[in-house]
Amino acid sequence: MRILALLVVILGIAVLVFGIIFIPQASEAKQKVADSLTAPVTLDTLDATYDQISGSFDQLKASGMPSSDPQYVMVLGQRTSLGLAKSNVGIARVLNTMGIINILLGVGLVFTGCALIMRRNQSA
């Protein structure tokens, strides 16, 4: 039982460390996306700009414009790059949430392992 309790504590510490590592990585990733956006687009306006460009692309596609047309290619490129930025921001948010969850799980596992060790010492 003592080995199991120590294993739970070690696992909790490992999960806690990963949670602490995830949060700065998520912030750094989100900042890189913010730095890569050009002047009229910011993180706050990214979703609205993507929706606007996506609507323009859908209109061009519905009008039967050939895919070799420069305007079609430009709008497709904008939509693609904004979509990638949008997905990167989403991944950074998920990573931040995972970090918080890992910290909570790690603390819970460490406390559980310590409680198991204390319970074992009291019963002995």
Task: Indicate the average pLDDT of the chain.
Answer: 85
Q: What is the pLDDT of residue 124?
A: 58
Q: Which domain holds residue 12?
A: 2-123
User: How far apart (Å, rounded) are the C-alpha atoms in residues 41 and 82?
Assistant: 9
Tokens of 55: 């609507």
The model carries a pTM of 0.74
Q: Per-residue pLDDT tens for 1-25?
A: 778 888 888 999 999 999 999 888 8
Q: What is the pLDDT of residue 17?
A: 92
Domain count, the chain: 1
37 DSSP 8-state letter = S
Q: Per-residue pLDDT tens for 21-69?
A: 988 888 888 888 888 887 787 777 888 888 888 888 888 878 877 777 7
Q: What is the pLDDT of residue 107?
A: 92
Q: How far is CA 121 from CA 1, 53, 113, 115, 124, in A?
A: 11, 65, 12, 10, 5
Q: Per-residue pLDDT tens for 47-59?
A: 888 888 888 888 8
